[in-house]
Structure 1
């Protein structure tokens, strides 16, 4: 029997990169999967690729009305939440514009916060659930040009610990996966060669593939990590050691 059979997983930002690969693994292990994204076209393409058991809901995590509509669509059925949707602009602090800063925090922190706040009560009533926040190596490692992004991901790691303390007594686990530089189209478009340079500086000497990070997400979402909560799994090629 597949270990996630009978469970429903919600993966935000699930139409590409780490989100798409996480949705693929969760579905392969038996979960019914809902993926979100802003593009209907990319969502339909992702569902066609992933196959049966996966459906798409258009949602923009930076827009609270969109978050509320997503919650209404999901109802009380979600057992696993993967907070993966993210904005990751690169800019030096002295060049950071307010609009980009606000969009980063609206998506990476506020959207995730109120999504969890709305979905967690049903998990708490059922006495089980798993929330996995996809953060970043730069949440704990200084990288020039990543100030707003790193601050938003550090906030999400702090929420991981707070939610673990709040929800743990009711059987709901909350953890983070902190990827290092990962070879995805979105990151390449925003960071270009800098992403590869960060990868070469790691002890493993390379960037990650999205499927490698998805394995860490699956571990924390599944019963394999049944006694793990409030933790961050550093899937960063040794970045935390460098």
Structure 2
């Protein structure tokens, strides 16, 4: 029996570590040819080798996603490696914290470019092609602070709130052509990127019903669900994967 995503190509941005790496491995395990992008070629090739060692198919594209042109270039490279892109996971992002008064204009622009502009133009480039083929799945990675006001999170949270609105708008735009667009909203998750938060991560997680920090693989499992046929009637949702943190 063929794996569920056999014959498809999945592009995972920020696929060299954390949630992105776990997602790339999960989708490859479902049979997808995974193209993962990131800035660190060494880590990227390590993920590719891990997937290939397990019998999967993968390729890495070194990409500094800093504008619309870099997004379009990544889409083109993914097509070269995979022939076409059936699944897009917009995972790459940055998450600075701190007082609004300390935010520089350059810092503001960097967050919105990485978290909003690049996903927008990747979808603008790839979703119409999916629509012409009559199928496709897009998953955007958000955060619980997009829906919960927290001090020091205005910049990051607002950028991801934009991603959640775009998710719903894209579902309306591309859903009638067979392209499903959804998002996941992770809670505190143990990754290389969140290590800097130290005990703060555990304190945030302790306030939720699960009472613990998530592993990247738990977020990746939710992304794989939204990509797969088991979610065929799921469109335009933001799925909390936060240990119940938004519930309390």
Give the corresponding residue for 1:194.
200
Structure 2 Cα separation of the partners of residues 203 and 70 of structure 1:
39
Q: Secondary structure at the match of 2:246?
A: coil
d(CA) in 1 for partners of 2:90, 2:230: 19
3-state SS, counterpart of residue 88 of structure 2: strand
3-state secondary structure, aligned to 2:209: coil
CA distance in 2, matches of 1:3, 1:21: 18
Contact 2:137–2:227 under 8 Å retained in 1:
yes
Structure 1 segment 66-145 matched on structure 2, within 5 A? 66-75=70-79, 77-145=84-152
- Alpha-carbon distance in structure 2 between the residues aligned to 1:72 and 1:81: 13
Structure-2 separation of matches of 1:117 and 1:65: 12
What is the distance in 1 between the residues matched to 2:95 and 2:176?
34
Partner SS state of residue 91, structure 1: coil
Task: Specify the alignment match of 1:13 in structure 2.
Answer: 14
> Mind listing any 5+ residue stretches in structure 2 that lack a counterpart?
none
In the TM superposition, 1:28-43 aligns within 5 A as 28-43=29-44
Partner SS state of residue 215, structure 1: helix
TM-score normalized with structure 1 length: 0.96
Q: Tell me whether 90-99 or 229-238 shows the greater mean CA deviation.
A: 90-99
Alignment deviations for residues 43-77 of structure 1 (CA, whole Å, 9 cap, x no partner): 11221222240110011222333212112212360
- Give me the whole-angstrom Cα distance separating, in 1, the residues matched to 2:70 and 2:236: 28
Q: Name the counterpart of 1:220.
A: 226
Aligned CA RMSD, in angstroms, stands at 1.1
Q: Whole-Å Cα distance in 2 between the matches of residues 220 and 31 of structure 1?
A: 14
Cα shift at 1:157: 0.3
Whether the aligned pair in 1 keeps the contact of 2:67 and 2:117 (CA below 8 Å) is no
